[in-house]
Structure formats: structure tokens, C-alpha cells
Amino acid sequence: MNKELFESYYKAKGWKSAPFQKQVFQAISKGQNGLLNVPTGFGKTNALLVPIVMDGMEQYTKKTKIFAVWISPLRALSKEIESSAKDVSAFYNLEWNIASRNGDTPNAERQKQNRKPPQILVTTPESLHLLLAQKKYKDVFSSIAYFVVDEWHELVGSKRGVMIELGLSRLKSLSPQMKIWGISATVGNIDEAERVLFGQTNHSQNSIRVNTNRRKKIKIKSLLPKKSEEYPWAGHLGVKMAHKVIPVIEKYNSTLLFTNTRNQAEMWYQTLMEIAPQFAGQMALHHSSINKEMRRWVENALHEGRLKVVVCTASLDLGVDFRPVEAVIQVGGPKGVARFLQRAGRSGHRPNETSQIYFMPTHSIELLEASALREAIKKGEIESRNPYIRSFDVLAQYMVTLAVSSGFKPENLLSEIRTTHCFQSISEGEFSWLLTYITKGGDALKAYEEFKKVELTDDGLYKVNSKRVAMRHRLSIGTIVGNSALRVKFLRGGFVGTIEEYFISKLKEGDNFWFSGRNLEFIKVRGNTALVRPSKKKKSGKVPAWAGGRMPLSSMLGAGLREQLSHVANKNYYSPELKSLKPTLDKQEQLSAIPTENQLLIESFKTREGYHLVVYPFEGRFIHEALGSLLAYRMSLLLPVSFSIAINDYGFELLSDQPIPVEDALDNDFFTSQNLSQDLAKSINATEMARKQFRDIATISGLVFNGFPGKFKEERHLKANSQLFFNVFREYDSDNLFLQQAYDEAYYHQLEEVRLREVLKRIESLDILVTYPERATPFAFPIMVDRLRTKLTSEKLEDRIKKLQIQFAR
């Protein structure tokens, strides 16, 4: 390819091509695969687009259908990529058809793409699999030359990453000359991320890693209260401190305000409307449950610099290039260094500009997180993203996907999927178990005549023949499991967004609630739609919550927190955050103690609620969930007792209606790593951990179907509860692969047994410091108010019932 032609694009734009952009160009000229490891805002999209389009000029013929697929994990991002691609191809005078396809794409547009496939298709992992479920997919992808995965660091640690691995394994067979490129921000395990992307094929031999040593400059400032007493000890909303962000918003042309949940975003938007009416008309809300026209409008207005502030969630997390954005406000602990950097990078998006991020803690202890973050960024530390392995649920879904389109031959499929990182170790037995599952329902002992999801045809193909099964499958493709949702619409027409059924079910006619930044009055549910009208009530009502995963604190940040506390224990208040936190920390020390890095703090006290035991390992919520269950299990062997376990990122609490024998527990060496595997297995069984994993697995693998849109009621009697499957499998079918997977995921992904061992070893080496505060301490408070609790009991059901009170009608 012609180097001058390459440079001419940058020249025409008045830019200078960066060294890494030249490197990518050379690699693509040589026909290499690659992983581009560059922070956002340095021109990574163009680095790949320009040479790919240039290659298209040479390779492209009238027969070419899809030439390049560009995977972007976020819908908001695809528009950006689409317009860049159009710009580049127009520059090179190509009359290429460039299109996006994702959940927001209207039906007519999809039909058009089916008739005439675009040359560059910007899509999501889910839509890619939907394409693989189409009869003609082999033809459509037969001439694909490039497969680009954007934001690979976001995908690699999720089951959406597994979808990409599977999709790639298929396309590699269809078009062996296809080149694979990944774009990734830095992750702790970048080498592994690269191996996962290329898989066990020769793509990895002919590949290059393109790095840039340029690092984004970041300025971090915490919004500190005048007095620490202004901060609540607990809570996660932080709206009481909202006035603190107004001067920041006023200072910059355009600001993004990130919250950790959609519910919190709604609350913040509402609060800002009340306390800062001067921003009216220049303020907007953006999260994934809001209808797409609204989201599009917000994104466009951001581009054009018409908005002063946008309250948003992870929906605007990734690489979207909103140039006018000058500052970012993060509300609440971001829980990880990588995520914090990602969000900071949303401001000062151009090379060499400085990202400006303000941190707004929602309760006092989060100030520790800010101090620890600053430290970690200074040291350049960043978390790993662990890829999923052996995700049989995703594989089962994929097998049905292929059966829906043109069918598959098992021997070909097995060798194909073994080239992926995820399924390199799948055995023939496991594979044939899955075949039995999709054809007979997974019950090898007894064949059910009626269960005909996938059928084996005479020519040895596995195929779906029923139109109904095919339609239902298309609707359930994907690995993001949400609760069943209702569409919210105005009575007079106009779609507002989607809310979980559970929230709507609690509303009565005439109740008002706050959603999509509006005060709405609930009228009724019709089909799968909740009808509303604008509310005239002054007082705003409830705000819906969506069950999304709360991110756990990363182990890296956990270690950072312990280090910060150690400074405090040694009276070294070196950062502005620690200084501001001093009164709270003094209170903690007065009531209980502040642990150094060599101590494990345990608090034991009694309140009206019962007897509390709170332990502070500072290891993140997943590890705490395991430790809490383990400790509760080991104690429950000493005496019949029931625990309610609460966790947060700093520690965990065991609550009981009877005194907790903390001394006995310590004498019995309850934190030992001996017998860890057995005890953990039992405690996981006794609690909800594997059950929670199973809920997603049941949906992804097609055990549970969440219903047709628009046919809400009719399908209701088909809704089965994943819990039911879990119980039945555990009792009657313990070899069930999906059940095994639930335990494996609980062990390795959630608990990270290896890490748990390390944590226990660390704890064994610590001095245990037990205090008996007379009341709840600042550390304990945020844990105690958490309502998400798991249970563990060794009492007989009858004995438990005797101690409980029935809930009578009022």
C-alpha cells in the first residue's frame, strides 16, 4: 500500500500521523493481525480505519459483501465510528456503504442491510450473533477481510467476550484470510487479553502489538466538605452534597457527571433541576434504560457543545469522543483504577490535553478510596480483567444460533470452538452433553418426544425446524441478563424507556414516580407496556432501581485502602482527603480502633437488631461474600445458629439473634486456609452464591425464557423460575453441566479461590484486633444498612420458626 496516500489523509485534516498510526499501517500492509494498546483520545479509530479502507481500495470487488466488521460494545460508540468510517471512505473516493446494526437499528434499516450488506458494518457482540442466526450468513461473511474489536478490555472479562471468541472462530473458517485487530486500553493482563482475542490459530503467530508510551495527563480533585461532619456515614446517593458540584459545572463549558447506577443518575438529575435551575435547558440525563431518541439527542447535543452538564452512567463510559467535554465528575467510589481512568478520559479528549476529574464521595469512608486512587494512578497500577473459560451456557446458546440459521455438523463445530481460549479444554463428553441438551432437554436418561428445540436431520445436520423456537431463540440471544422489563409509554403516545416489572408492580393507579428525568403519573399496565402521563403533583415520587451488578472493589484498590488506613493509624494525614476525613476517623478510633496494615479489625456489639460481628479485611465485596459465608459456616458447626450476612467493599457483617462466640471462633482458628475447598463448597451450598450465578446461566443457556415482547401475558405460564431448576438439578441431576458451571463461576470468577487463599494467608499473618464498641462505628454503619443480605443457618427449621413473628395484615 502507498505510504504517501496514507499520509495524505492526515495532511488533508491538518494533523500529523502519530508513530503508532504508522506502525499499524505497516502491519496491515504486511497482512498482520494486531492488538493496538493506546489510550482513548489519541486517534486509535483512524489508526485502523485508514489502512483498512486503503486495503479495501485494492481488494474490494463488486462481489465483496461485508469487507470489515467493527465490534463496539456500546451503542453510543457505534455512531461515532460509523461517521469516522464514512469520512475516511469519502476521502478516498470510495462509494462504500457503511452502516451500524445494533438493538437500536430500525427494522426497515435491517431489511435493507440484509438485501445489500454494507462494506463496513459497525455492530455489537449480540447483533453479530443475530446475524449468525440468519440463513444467508455464510454468504454475507464469505469475503470478510477485517474483524476489529474496539474496547476489547471491556469485553475480555465478560461473557460478551466469549460471544466474540465464538463468532471469530466461525468467521475464521468462513474466510481464512480474515485479519483480526483489537483495540484495548491497558489492563493488568494485556498478554492474556491478546491470547484470548486471537485464539489457538495461526493468527497469533502473525501478529503485532502496537503500543504508545504516551500517557494521558490526569488531574484529580476531591470535592471536600468544609467539615467532615457534613458527610453522612453511610448511603450511596450523595445528593445532599450536590451543591458542591455547581461551581464545577459553572467553571467549564461542558461536564459529564458519572454515577454508578441508573437509579442514582435519576436522583442526581432531579436534585440538580431543583437546586440549579440556571442550567435548565442545558442539562440532560443519559442511561441505558432511556429511550434511544432521547439518548441520541443527548449525544448529538453533547457533540455540538449545547449541553452544560449531562448526568450519566456507564452508558457514556467508553471511548465516545465528545470534544466539548472539559471536565468529569465522578459521584461515589469508582471501585477500580481502570474504570476511574476510563471516566477521567472522557474529558480533554484530544491528544496532549489534560483530563480533569472531580471526585465526589457519597459517604465519608469513600474519601479513603480517593486517596488510594491517587496513589495507584501515581504508581501506574491497573487491574486485570479475567476472561471467562468453559462458559457452557454461552456455547449452548451459540449452538442453537447456528442450528437456527443453516445448521451445524458436530465434528466441525467441536474442532472450531476448540480454537477459542474459552473452550480449548472442552471434552467430547461435555460437548455431547450439550448436544443432548439442545436436542432432548439435557436429560440423557429419558428421551422426551416433544422436546424438539434442535433436531438431527438425515444428513447429519443439527437444525431448528420450528419457526416458533427460532423466533424465541433470536429474542434471547445475548449474555446480559436483566429482569423482565416493561416499556413505559405516554398515554398519548411517545416511548419513555424501560423499567423493571417489579418496580411497576408496586405502583397503584395515580401514583407518581420519577423516570427519564420526568415526574410521571402511573395509569395502568396494558400488555407489556406501562401507560403514564406527566404528573401534576409537586412532590416527586419513587425512583425506579434497576438490578445491575454492583462493581466490586478491585483487590488493587483494596490494598491501597489498607495502606491509607495504615498512614492514619500512624497519624500521617498526608493527603487532602485524609485531612478532611480526620474527624470521622477520630470517632472510629474513639469507639473502636483503626487497623494498621498488620492488623485485622473485628468489632463485636449489640443493638436492637441483634448481635453484630463486623470484620474489615478491605478486600472487595466478592471476597467478603466468601469470607463471610466461610466464617458463618465454620461458626454454625459450633452451635445451632442463624446468620444474616451483609457485605460491602470494606468488610462484612454477621448478624444473629443470639450472642456470637467471637473468642471461640478465634481459638478455633476460623480464618485458616486448611480445608478451605471443602468448607467453601459447603458454605457456598448453604448460601446463595452459586444460585446467583445460576440465574444468568439459566437464561443464557435457554433454560429460562423471558417472554416475547408484546406477548407479555400469554407467555407468562411458560416463565419458569431459575431457582426451581437449580433446586431440581441439585437434587436429581448433579452432573448437569450448567449446575457445575454455576459452582465453577462462583469459585473462580466471583470468589477467585486462588485469591481467597492468598487473602486467608495474609489474614493468618495478621494480629487480630477485637474491639467491643458500645454502638455502631463509622466503619460498621455503611455495612449494616445494606439490605442485600444472604442467609446461613444450622438451626432446625422448626426451631427457627418458633423464634419468628408472622407478618399480619395491618
Partner 1 sequence: MKVTIAKNDFILDHRRVMYDVKREEIIVADLHVGKSAHFRKAGISLPGYSFVSDILRFQQIIYDYQPKSVLILGDLFHSDKNEEFNEWNELVKSFPEIKFVLVIGNHDLWSMRSSDLEGLDAVNELQRENVFYSHEPTDKADCINFCGHIHPGVKLKGSGKQELSLSCFWLAKNRLVLPAFSELTGLGMVKPKKTDRIYIPVEDKVIEI
Binding region for partner 1 (CB under 8 A) = 437, 441-443, 446, 448-453, 466, 469, 472, 609-611, 642-644, 655-658, 702-705, 717-718, 720-721, 724-725, 728-729, 731-733, 789, 791, 796-798, 800-809
Considering the complex, what minimum distance in angstroms separates the CB of residue 797 from partner 1? 5
**How far is Cα 516 from Cα 497, in angstroms, rounded to an integer?**
7
Q: How far is 163 from 123, CA to CA, in rounded Å?
A: 13
What SS3 state is found at 602? strand
CB 651 within 8 A of CB 617: yes
For residues 383 and 438, is the Cβ–Cβ distance under 8 A? Answer: no
Closer to partner 1 by CB, 378 or 608: give it.
608
What torsion do the CA atoms of 269, 254, 80, 84 make, to the nearest 10 degrees? 170
CB of 808: closest distance to partner 1 in angstroms? 5
Rounded to whole angstroms, the Cα distance separating 267 from 247 reads 19
Please report how close the Cβ of residue 590 comes to partner 1 at its closest, in angstroms: 27
All three cell numbers of 74, joined, read: 456500546
Cα–Cα distances (Å) from 724 to 321, 694, 728, in that order, read 45, 11, 6
Cβ-contact 331, 86 below 8 angstroms = no
How long a stretch of residues is the chain?
A: 810
Q: Cell 414516580 sits at which residue?
A: 513
Cell of 706: 423471558
Phi/psi for 72 (5° steps) reads -125, 130
Sheet holding 98-101, edge to edge: 98-101, 120-123, 68-71, 146-149, 179-184, 33-37, 207-211
Least distance in angstroms from the C-beta of 627 to partner 1: 19
Cell 479495501 locates to 56
**Residue 654 phi/psi, 5° resolution?**
-105, 125
Please say which residue, 443 or 764, places its beta carbon nearer to partner 1.
443
Nearer to partner 1 among residue 329 and residue 739 (C-beta): 739
Nearer Cβ to partner 1 (547/718): 718
Angstrom distance (rounded) from CA 141 to CA 136: 9
- In the three-class reduction of DSSP (H, G, I as helix; E, B as strand; rest coil), residue 197 is classed as helix
DSSP line for 532-591: EEE---SS--B------PPPPPPHHHHHHHHHHHHHHHTT---SHHHHHHHHHHHHHHHH
Question: How buried is residue 112: exposed, middle or buried, by Cβ count under 10 Å (0-12/13-18/19+)?
Answer: middle
Min dist. Cβ of residue 128 to partner 1 (A): 23
DSSP 164: H
For residue 696, what is its C-alpha cell?
A: 444468568
The nearest distance, CB 715 to partner 1, in angstroms, is: 9
Shortest Cβ 67–partner 1 spacing (Å): 37
Distance CA 169, CA 162 (A): 11
Closest to 467 (Cα-Cα) out of 83, 135, 217: 135
Three cell numbers written together for 664: 471461640
CB-count exposure of residue 188 (10 Å: 0-12, 13-18, 19+): middle
| Amino acid identity for residue 712 in this structure | F
DSSP of 74-90: -HHHHHHHHHHHHHHHH
Alpha-helix residue ranges (DSSP H) falling in 612-652? 621-636
306 contacts 281 by C-beta, under 8 angstroms? no
Distance CA 450, CA 769 (A): 62
